[in-house]
Amino acid sequence: MALGIDEIKTILTEHGLIQEIVSGEDVSFDEVTYDSRNVKPNTLFFCKGNFKPEYLSMAKEMGATGYVAEQKYDEGNGLTQIIVNNVQKAMSLVGAAFYCYPQNDLFVIAYTGTKGKTTSSYFAKSILDNANNNKTALISTIDTVVGNQPSQRFKSHLTTPESLDIFNYMRQSVNNGMTSLVMEVSSQAYKKLRVYGLHFDVGIFLNISPDHIGPNEHPTFADYLHCKEQLMVNSTHCIIDADTDYMLDVYEAAKATTDPDKIYLFSRNKKEFKDVQIDFNFSSISDTIDRNEIRVVANSQKAKKMNVEDDYKIGVVGDYNEANAMSAIIASALDNARAQDAKKGLKDVFVPGRMESYKSNHNGTIYVDYAHNYASMHALLGFLKSNNPDGKVIVVVGSPGNKGLDRREGFGKALTESADIAFLTSDDPAFEDPKDIINEIDSYINHDKVDVHIELDRKMAIKKAIHAGDNNAMIVVAGKGRDPYQKINGVDTPYETDPVVVQNVLRGIDNE
């Protein structure tokens, strides 16, 4: 692939981004990147984010022949210079062109929501894989899948990658025969313009509650909501969980750019809104600790045409996962999946790090789950407690550093509501002292209701929690799922994952 300077000029001019271009004639680039460590000969280098001039020097030494930035740098003398007023927008537009607009060859389904994005994405992928013979790519918090070979599935580093990576993954997916893509689109993706200029075939809004509010994320809840609503503005079809807070705001955002006939609303609670029809209702047939099944009913004519009214077993337990399944049924039907594809896909689905259960002989059942904010923790613990009211609830949890500061209060609140014993430990402390994070969570817990233990070593905290359980205990290891590292002082420190730690502890108990 190659991209010429004339095409770059045209694209950036159309969007009013160019300030100045210093270039020879007939210049073209064979590679694009924002990471100086990935520069190859004849690369166009983007100076973005936490950029330092020495990165440009390194890129030049590695063979970069041009750079895009919001100002000139002496380190870039002798290179083609493309100076723009917004490098993130420029990077997304140029990335799409460089990779030959791969989104046009994929049916792209995108999810947003405070909780449930990852689980719903796996649900939709599982359904579509049944419908299209395993030709569904995935960009999620856990994994990125661009093909069916082992080398084409790898761990993700961001919920929504940088724009150049998104278009690269899309191009690889198309080249590998994929026809559909399911991806998560975080509020930060819109805040940081990672999906600028990208239009989706289906956009799904699951829910919203306060999260990601802080100095390094969203300054206010209004900003958080606005960024999430942008997915509705940039999708051909919109699906909205009508049980979400601010539903009418979200619906109005969708209606601003989408024909109402292409907006689908679903609800568990048969909500009614003036002048707005709920297209689908679903209800629980079973929502026990061992079985999850829903019944789907179509209300509107457009919903009935989709032919998805049926009963569906879901391979991941939790009543809060039923709405996730409903969204996936509708989204996949818009990509020509049939009810039988959805029935098989949902029944057989596995979501790494989501409600993974491990039974012990004498210490109860251990659940590894990614629950990482109040909404998800409240839903998880409430579900477990309702299914086993006499069982002791033991929770291992920490909170990440330098982001999502409101989560700490949320965890304290959720633990007070539903936990009997809490082991507070490290998560991804980043540049904060994990003890300070733990103490902040602890300050929000009612100690008259919860027996609190502090153990900085996450593996040791998990071990102690399991040993504290009895036959009827429900032990939740929350927050990291299958994350294979802990972020400590800017370094991704290898971590053997919560499921591995749990299994090692259980093996040790069995051998005692």
DSSP string, 222-233: HHHHHHHHHHHH
Query: Higher-confidence residue: 221 or 463?
Result: 463
CB 140 within 8 A of CB 121: yes
Res 278 pLDDT > 70: yes
The confidence band for 1, taking pLDDT boundaries of 50, 70 and 90, is: confident
In the chain, % of residues over pLDDT 90: 85
Query: Higher-confidence residue: 406 or 217?
Result: 406
The average pLDDT across 127-150 equals: 97
CB 481 within 8 A of CB 373: no
Instruction: Enumerate the known binding-site residues for ATP.
Output: 113-119
Res 218 pLDDT > 80: no
| 304-347: pLDDT as tens digits | 999 999 999 999 999 999 999 999 999 999 999 999 999 999 99
Res 60 pLDDT > 80: yes
Cα gap 445→403, rounded to integer Å: 20
**Spatial CA neighbour of 167 closest among 57, 91, 275:** 91
Instruction: Enumerate the known binding-site residues.
Output: 36, 113-119, 159-160, 186, 194
Q: What is the pLDDT of residue 344?
A: 98
Q: What secondary structure letter does DSSP report for 54?
A: H
| 10-37: pLDDT as tens digits | 999 999 999 999 988 889 999 999 999 9
Q: What is the pLDDT of residue 272?
A: 78
Cα gap 126→261, rounded to integer Å: 27
Q: What is the pLDDT of residue 463?
A: 97
Q: What is the pLDDT of residue 62?
A: 96
Give me the half-sphere count of Cα atoms (radius 13 Å) on the Cβ side of residue 44. Answer: 27
Q: What is the pLDDT of residue 50?
A: 84
Q: What secondary structure letter does DSSP report for 416?
A: H
Going from the N-terminus, what domains does the chain have, and what CATH number goes with each?
Answer: 3-98 (3.40.1390.10), 102-348 (3.40.1190.10), 356-510 (3.90.190.20)
Q: What's the one-letter identity of residue 475?
A: I
Q: What is the pLDDT of residue 137?
A: 99
Res 253 pLDDT > 70: yes
Which of 40-54, 175-189, 211-225, 410-424 is the least confident region?
Answer: 211-225
Instruction: Return the residue matching tokens 């579509």.
Output: 128
Strand order in the sheet with 451-454: 356-359, 365-369, 474-478, 393-397, 421-424, 451-454
The confidence band for 214, taking pLDDT boundaries of 50, 70 and 90, is: low
Q: What is the pLDDT of residue 25?
A: 84
The confidence band for 507, taking pLDDT boundaries of 50, 70 and 90, is: very high
The average pLDDT across 373-388 equals: 92
The confidence band for 254, taking pLDDT boundaries of 50, 70 and 90, is: very high
Q: What is the pLDDT of residue 213?
A: 61
Q: What is the pLDDT of residue 392?
A: 96
Q: What is the pLDDT of residue 211?
A: 64
Q: What is the pLDDT of residue 400?
A: 92
- Per-residue CA distances from 483 to 122, 267, 282, 487 (Å): 16, 32, 32, 10
Q: What is the pLDDT of residue 215?
A: 64
| 62-107: pLDDT as tens digits | 999 999 999 999 999 999 999 999 999 999 999 999 999 999 999 9
The confidence band for 269, taking pLDDT boundaries of 50, 70 and 90, is: confident
Res 511 pLDDT > 90: no
Res 212 pLDDT > 70: no
Cα gap 234→332, rounded to integer Å: 18
Q: What is the pLDDT of residue 375?
A: 87
**Spatial CA neighbour of 125 closest among 105, 110, 113, 103:** 110
Q: What is the pLDDT of residue 138?
A: 98
Q: What is the pLDDT of residue 405?
A: 82
| 490-501: pLDDT as tens digits | 899 999 999 999
The average pLDDT across 274-299 equals: 94
Res 471 pLDDT > 80: yes
Q: What angle do CA 82, 63, 169 make, to 5 degrees?
A: 75
Q: Is 346 exposed, middle or buried (0-12, 13-18, 19+ CB in 10 A)?
A: buried
Res 396 pLDDT > 70: yes
Average pLDDT along the chain: 94
